[in-house]
Amino acid sequence: MPSLKDLKNRIASVKATQKITKAMKMVAAAKLRRAQEAAEAARPYAERMDRVLASLSAAYKDSPEAPLLLSGTGRDQTHLLIVATGERGLAGGFNSSIVRLARDHALKLLAEGKTVKILTVGRKGNDVLRRTFRDNIIDYVTFREVKQLGFANASDVAQRVLSLYEAGEFDVATLFYARFASVISQVATAQQIIPAKFAETEVPAAAALYEYEPSEQEILEDLLPRNVALQIFRALLENNASFYGAQMSAMDSATRNAGDMINKLTLSYNRQRQAQITKELIEIISGAEAL
């Protein structure tokens, strides 16, 4: 049975923890809004890019001159997994759900006898994956120092991926990140970015009448690398929003748990104090009666 003083200390410490989690929740909520705005702002570009690429690539899909980024290398042997996670923890299952998805995917590929290479973006994923796939991790990018995630950061990652691809280091690249469904739900997602896949859309009749300057092929060759950077950028933004969403709900439940704990501790503190008062009273009364 803890003494009154012990209980008092514990209540104080849980209260201090609650203050911290509450503050973290509020910070996460503010950052979430900013992250969501950034993701929102990136949408128009992505939509237009998708539309143009979908119609261009539909025409080029089966042609032998299609750029490698679209048609692939024709092999399926070496896979590159780009795993984007957060830089920090304290966000519930955010990092672990992405890592789990990537790990399952990697193990499946390894079981099929394929070669797996991993590029980690973000410190947390790197730390965890390093334990299992020490030899598979070929590169590691961190945005720890980056305050506001910009397109340049994504471009930087894309440059690395593209130069690996040009050097024939892998055949298929898959990007792992958490899609932001809502504040309370983030879905770990795997998306293949090389060779590029586009939603099969009805090509509007007008598209056939387009003039291309320079040729269609050159435009496609110019756009596909940009698209890789764009997909990575989009994933990073989604990831960022998801991270703060996950952190916010994790901190919210931590605050609530701390509240419950404080209530319980206060109850037993009050009980014990009352018991002590009663005991003292009994002592005084029985002492008086004995006289």
Partner 1 sequence: MADAFKFELVSPERLLVSEQVTEVILPATLGEMTVLAKHAPTMTTIKAGVVTVKNAAGQVHKYVVFGGFADITPTACTLLAESAVPQAEADRSLFESRIEALRADISGAPTDEHRTRFEHMLADMTHLHNAVHPD
Could you tell me which residues are beta bridge partners of residue 16? Answer: none
- Per-residue binding string, partner 1, 58-77, x by CB under 8 A, is --------------------
* Shortest Å distance, C-beta 154 to partner 1: 8
Identify residues 162-181 at the interface with partner 1 (CB under 8 A).
163, 166
Told to check if 34 binds partner 1 by CB under 8 A, we report no
* Nearer to partner 1 among residue 227 and residue 255 (C-beta): 227
Q: Kindly state the tokens that stand for 280.
A: 């003292």
How far apart are the C-alpha atoms of 241 and 32, rounded to whole Å? 6
Interface with partner 1 (CB under 8 A), residue from 33, 34, 61, 226 = 226
Indicate whether 187 belongs to the interface with partner 1 (CB under 8 A). no
111 belongs to the binding site for partner 1 (CB under 8 A): no
Q: How far apart are CA 33 and CA 5, in angstroms?
A: 43
Residue 269 in the binding site for partner 1 (CB under 8 A)? no
Tell me how crowded residue 274 is: count the other CB atoms within 10 A of its CB: 10
| CA–CA gap between residue 28 and residue 245 (Å, rounded) | 7
Residue from 27, 29, 52, 58 touching partner 1 (CB under 8 A): that is: 52
Q: Which of 182, 210, 276, 283 binds partner 1 (CB under 8 A)?
A: 210
Is 214 a binder of partner 1 (CB under 8 A)?
yes
Residue 196 · residue 48 · CB < 8 Å: no
Q: Is 110 in the site for partner 1 (CB under 8 A)?
A: no
- Asked if 84 contacts 121 with a C-beta cutoff of 8 angstroms, the reply is yes
Sole binder of partner 1 in the list 105, 151, 189, 191 (CB under 8 A): 151
d(CA 178, CA 190): 9
| Least distance in angstroms from the C-beta of 258 to partner 1 | 38
Q: How far is the CB of 208 from partner 1 (least distance, A)?
A: 9
Measured distance CA(93)–CA(247) in Å, rounded: 9
Nearer to partner 1 among residue 46 and residue 90 (C-beta): 46
Q: Are 50 and 196 in contact (CB under 8 A)?
A: no
Q: Which of 42, 81, 173, 183 is in the footprint of partner 1 by CB under 8 A?
A: 42
Q: Enumerate residues 6+ apart whose C-beta is below 8 A from 102.
A: 81, 83, 118, 125, 129, 176, 190
Find out whether 269 and 4 touch, Cβ atoms under 8 Å: yes
By CB under 8 A, name the one of 6, 76, 222, 283 that touches partner 1: 222
In whole angstroms, what is the distance from residue 134 CA to residue 82 CA? 15
Amino acid at 254: A
Choose, by CB under 8 A, the member of 213, 287, 288, 289 that binds partner 1: 213
Residue 121 in contact with partner 1, rule: CB under 8 A: no
Positions that interact with partner 1 (CB under 8 A): 38, 41-42, 44-46, 48-49, 52, 56, 150-152, 154-155, 163, 166, 206, 209-214, 218-219, 222-223, 226, 229-230, 233
